[in-house]
Structure 1
Amino acid sequence: MATPETQRRIVVVSGGGTGIGRAVCAAFAAEGAEVVALGRRAEPLERTAKELTAEHAAAGGSVRALTADLTEPAEAERVRDDLRAAYGRVDVVVNNAGGNVLVGAPEGAADGLAGAAWHWTGNFRSNVLTAVLLTEALRDLLAAPGGRVVLLSSIAAYRGSGAGSYAGAKAALHPYMYDLAADLGPRGVTVNTVAPGYIAETEFFGPDGVADARRRMLVEQAMNRRAGAPADVAETVRWLASPAAGHVTGQIIQVNGGAEKGR
């Protein structure tokens, strides 16, 4: 028999410990959801879970940390088995895990054919496999009707990322989303993608952040002349996962302040 605890929405957020992922966890916890934050690093996950659970306790929301390397099929299966045993279903899956392996890479790491193979493979694993393996592992647990899947892409999928591999990896999520939306649509499950532009206050640009000159350039590309914030993305994800967006599926929503392609 279902208990009041299991009636709360079960929301799974990969890369949930920091940045955009943390903001997504906070947005759902504020609604009273049971959020499971996934990631490879235990320390930021556990800190986020503790802080957000305390912050949103009055709303009935909570965040639980679950460490996993979602580039590995066995780890995605372990997550699936854990969630099945704990909840029996999943209402929302937010595939936020990823990043550019070239950021902070040692000098020369991307040189030559071996370097090209390294960063193309690394960005595919980090940005595509993490989303595909988690989603495929959980697809049979998705609430039907009413389940929601959200993928996190990037403005780079439209205009490149300098070396190509990060942009190519994010672009690969788009046809996967279309196929998945068509497959899950008859079950009443929606699948959408959010493609952010420059988002400040994240770890994407490495421990030193983005240089001031580049930050000014990125802000100037936005029509509203400001940097994005993790909450901008989180609120878009939250809306896509809401009943109000029940007829929105197979869509890519850009969150970039109107930044022009290629500038």
Structure 2
Amino acid sequence: MTRSIVVTGGGTGIGRATAARFAAAGESVTILGRRADVLARAAEQLGATAVVCDVSDPDALTAALGQLPAQVDVLVNNAGGNTDLRRPAATTLADVAAGWRANLDANLLSAVLTTTLLADRLQPGGTVVGIGSIAASRGSGGGSYGATKAALATWNIDLAGQLGPRDITANVVSCGYIAETEFFADQLTEQRRGTLIGQTSTGRAGTPDDVAALVEYLASPGARHITAQVININGGAFPTR
């Protein structure tokens, strides 16, 4: 039976790769994003449905509800990113507050609002996957990005508890350095890139499809007893035991 998949931030990078995997498997895929041109191009190439929406905006999400599937089997909360990289350096307390709120909106509230909006449409046997970050465990250089991803992981514990009785799982995929995305906003130097790769055991950057493959597994029948977890995908850059 064809499943209904919803991916936020589905126009580029990890979101697009995730949507592509599900679409290639014959699933019905809906992608959300803010940029109409990017989203339309991805939807045409993947055979997906595009819904233009800022998923951190409650009013925009509510207005988009009629365009979203009546039943949702897999929700991938991928939208987000380090908004500090696209803002000028903070010089006042107001700047600091605005910067923190921007990252909270992008990385935590986007997932909370989208999941809450679609909660009644999530089907038994389904799954919710949030895209987290290695920064949740080791920080993000003094900004708020890592803190918001840590909050996402903590919220996921409560979410899994709420959805579990309905036979719905909820997990976070925590990513290390993933190449071929817009995350660094063209600010990644070759030296920094080399450092990030050098921290891995695999000797390479991750790819969007590496992450997409893990998301696909978490949405598969073989992962039905995995929930309330943070699953790391970083090539060994942040080892655990």
**TM-score, with length taken from structure 2:** 0.96
TM-align CA RMSD: 1.2
Equivalent residue number for residue 73 of structure 1: 58
Is it true that 1:178 corresponds to 2:157 in the alignment?
A: yes
Runs of 4+ in 1 over 3 A off after TM superposition: none
Q: Quick check: 1:12–1:35 contact (8 Å CA) kept in 2?
A: yes
Does 2:240 correspond to 1:258? no
2:129 pairs with 1:147 = no
The residue type paired with residue 235 of structure 2 is G
Residue 87 of structure 2 aligns with which residue? 105
Deviation of 1:52 after TM superposition, in Å, equals: 1.4
Q: 1-side partners of 2:187 and 2:92: how far apart?
A: 27
Match of 2:67 in 1: 82
What CA distance in whole angstroms lies between the structure 2 residues aligned with 1:113 and 1:225?
41
* DSSP 3-state at the match of 2:72: coil
Task: Confirm or deny that 1:123 pairs with 2:103.
Answer: yes
Q: Which residue does 1:23 correspond to in 2?
A: 17
1:92–1:241: 8 Å Cα contact kept in structure 2?
yes
Q: 1:56 is matched with which residue?
A: none
- Gaps (5+ residues) in structure 2? none
Aligned to 1:37: 31
Q: Which amino acid aligns with 1:213?
A: Q
Please state how far the C-alpha of 1:132 moved relative to its aligned partner: 0.3
Per-residue deviation, 1:164: 2.9
In the alignment, which residue of structure 2 is the partner of 1:216?
Answer: 194
Q: Matches of 1:91 and 1:79 in 2, distance apart?
A: 18
Larger Rg: 1
Contact 1:98 1:127 in 2 (8 A): yes
The percent identity for this pair of structures is: 51
Distance in 2, matches of 1:183 and 1:169, equals: 21
**Paired residue type of 1:99:** G
Note if 1:233 corresponds to 2:211.
Answer: yes
More strand by share: 2
Once the two structures are TM-superposed, the CA of residue 118 in structure 1 deviates from its matched residue by: 1.4
Aligned to 2:113: 133
Q: Is the 8 A contact 1:203 1:209 kept in 2?
A: no
Shift of 1:209: 4.8
Q: How many corresponding residue pairs?
A: 239
Residue type matched to 1:252 in 2? V
* Residues 134 and 238, structure 2, Cα contact 8 Å, conserved in 1: no
Aligned residue for 1:35, secondary structure, equals strand
Cα distance in structure 2, aligned partners of 1:111 and 1:241: 44
TM-score norm. by structure 1 comes to 0.88
- Work out the CA distance in 2 between the residues paired with 1:75 and 1:104: 22
Write the letter of the residue equivalent to 2:127: R
